[in-house]
Chains A and B, each alone.
Chain A
Amino acid sequence: MARTAEKKSTFQDLILTLQNFWAAKGCLILQPYDDQMGAGTFHPATTLRALGPRPWRAAYVQPSRRPKDGRYGENPNRLQHYYQFQVIMKPAPADIQDLYLESVRAIGLDPALHDIRFVEDDWESPTLGAWGLGWEVWCDGMEISQFTYFQQVGGIDCDPVSAEITYGLERLAMYVQNVEFVYDLAFNEDFRYGEVFHQAEQEFSAYNFEMADTEILFQHFKDAEKQCRDLVSGNKKLALPAYDQCIKASHAFNLLDARGVISVTERAAYIARVRALAKACCEAWLATPMGDYKPRYG
Chain B
Amino acid sequence: MADLLVELFSEEIPARMQEQAARDLERLVVGALSDRGLLFEGATTFAGPRRLTLALIGLPMRQPDVSEEKKGPRVTASAKAIDGFLRSAGVSLAQCEKRDDGKGEFYVAIVERKGRATADVLAEVLPDCFAKLPWPKSMRWPQAGNAPVRWVRPLHAIVCTFDGEVVPLTFAGIASGKRTRGHRFLAKGEIEVRRFADYVKKLRDAHVVLDGAERKEIILHDVKNKAFALGLELIEDQGLLEEVAGLAEWPVALLGTIEPQFMDLPSEILQTAMRRHQKYFSLRDTKTGKFANRFALVANMVTADGGAQIVSGNERVLRARLADAKFFWDQDRKRSLASRVDDLKNVVFHAKLGTQYERVLRIEQLAGEIAEKIGADVERARRAARLCKADLTTGIVGEFPELQGVMGGYYAEHDGEDDDVAIAVVEHYGPLGRDLTSENSVTNAVALADKWDLISKFFKIGEKPTGSGDPFAIRRAALGVIKIVLDRKYRLRLSQLPDYSDEILSFLADRLKVALREGGVRHDLIDAVFALSHDDDLVRLVARVEALQAFLKSEDGANLLAGYKRAANIVRIEEKKDGRSYDGEPDPELLSAAEEKALFMDLAVGRGLIAAELERERFAEAMRAMARLRGPVDTFFDKVTVNITDTALRANRLRLLSHLRQTLHTVADFSKVEG
Contacts and interface: CB of A to CB of B under 8 A. Distances in A.
B267 to A, nearest CB: 20
A227 B317 CA distance: 45
B297 interface: yes
A142 B347 contact: no
Contact of A91 (B16, B142, B303): B142
Nearest to B14: A120
Given A91-B142, A94-B142, A142-B317, 7 more contacts: A76-B323, A115-B310, A119-B247, A133-B137, A139-B313, A141-B314, A149-B139
Nearest to B298: A115
Contact of B12 (A75, A120, A157): A120
A82 interface: no
29 contacts: A76-B323, A94-B142, A112-B185, A113-B303, A113-B304, A113-B309, A114-B309, A115-B303, A115-B310, A117-B12, A117-B247, A117-B248, A118-B11, A119-B12, A119-B247, A120-B12, A120-B15, A140-B312, A140-B313, A141-B278, A142-B316, A151-B139, A159-B140, A160-B142, A161-B140, A161-B142, A263-B346, A263-B348, A297-B140
Nearest to A111: B185
A243 to B, nearest CB: 24
A140 B348 contact: no
Q: Shortest 3 CB-CB distances between A and B: which pairs? A: A140-B313, A120-B14, A91-B142
A264 B348 contact: yes
Given A111-B185, A119-B247, A151 B140 contact: yes
B314 A140 contact: yes
A133 B14 CA distance: 10
Contacts of A115: 299-301, 303, 307, 310, 313
A180 B154 CA distance: 36
B300 to A, nearest CB: 6
A270 interface: no
Contacts of B228: none
Interface string B133-175: 0000111111000001000111010000000000000000000
Nearest to B17: A120
A175 interface: yes
Contacts of B12: 117-120, 135
Interface in A244-282: 263-265
B320 interface: yes
A175 B347 CA distance: 37
B485 interface: no
A151 B154 CA distance: 13
A97 interface: yes
A132 B301 CA distance: 28
A122 B185 CA distance: 24
A112 B153 contact: no
Contacts of A113: 303-305, 309
Interface string A55-87: 000000000000000000001110000000000
B318 interface: yes
Contacts of A94: 142, 154, 156
B461 interface: no
B197 interface: no
Q: Which of A75, A118, A139 has the most CB of B within 10 A?
A: A118
Contacts of A157: 140
Interface in A128-164: 132-133, 135, 139-142, 149, 151, 157, 159-161
Q: Which of B142, B148, B304, B319 has the most CB of A within 10 A?
A: B142
A94 B156 CA distance: 8
B351 interface: yes
Contacts of B310: 114-115, 140
B154 A265 contact: no
Contacts of B140: 149, 151, 157, 159, 161, 297
A112 B297 CA distance: 18
Interface magnitude class on chain A: 35 or more
A48 interface: no
Nearest to B141: A161
Interface string A172-214: 0001000010000000000000000000000000000000000
Interface string B225-252: 0000000000000000000000110000
Contacts of B348: 263-265
Contacts of B11: 97, 118
A92 interface: yes
Interface in B434-478: none
A117 B310 CA distance: 12
Contacts of B300: 115, 117
A36 to B, nearest CB: 26
A145 to B, nearest CB: 13
Nearest to A260: B346
A7 B271 CA distance: 33
A73 to B, nearest CB: 15
B347 A264 contact: yes
Contact of B320 (A76, A92, A119): A76
Contacts of B323: 76
A149 B154 CA distance: 9
A141 B141 contact: no
A140 B310 CA distance: 5
Contacts of B313: 114-115, 139-142, 175
A279 B284 CA distance: 52
B563 to A, nearest CB: 62
Nearest to A71: B327
Interface in B81-139: 137-139
Given A113-B304, A117-B247, A141-B313, A92 B142 contact: yes
Contacts of A132: 139
Contacts of A77: 320
Nearest to A162: B142
A142 B16 CA distance: 20
A165 interface: no
B530 to A, nearest CB: 39
A247 B80 CA distance: 76
Given A113-B303, A115-B300, A151-B140, A141 B346 contact: no
A157 B99 CA distance: 63
Contacts of A91: 142
Interface string A216-246: 0000000000000000000000000000000
A116 interface: yes
B309 A112 contact: no
A123 to B, nearest CB: 11
Nearest to B277: A141
B304 A141 contact: no
B153 A133 contact: yes
A151 B346 CA distance: 36
Given A76-B320, A115-B310, A141 B142 contact: no
Nearest to B307: A115
Interface string B42-62: 000000010000000000000
Contacts of B248: 117
Contacts of B347: 264
A30 B16 CA distance: 38
Q: Which of A112, A120, A135 has the most CB of B within 10 A?
A: A120
A238 B140 CA distance: 30
A174 to B, nearest CB: 9
Contacts of B304: 112-113
Nearest to B318: A141
Interface in B341-358: 346-348, 351
Contacts of B317: 140-142
B655 to A, nearest CB: 63
A139 B301 CA distance: 11
A92 B139 CA distance: 13
A168 to B, nearest CB: 13
A116 B16 contact: no
Interface string B11-28: 110111000000000000
Given A141-B313, A263-B346, A114 B301 contact: yes
B198 to A, nearest CB: 27
A120 B15 CA distance: 8
B297 A141 contact: yes
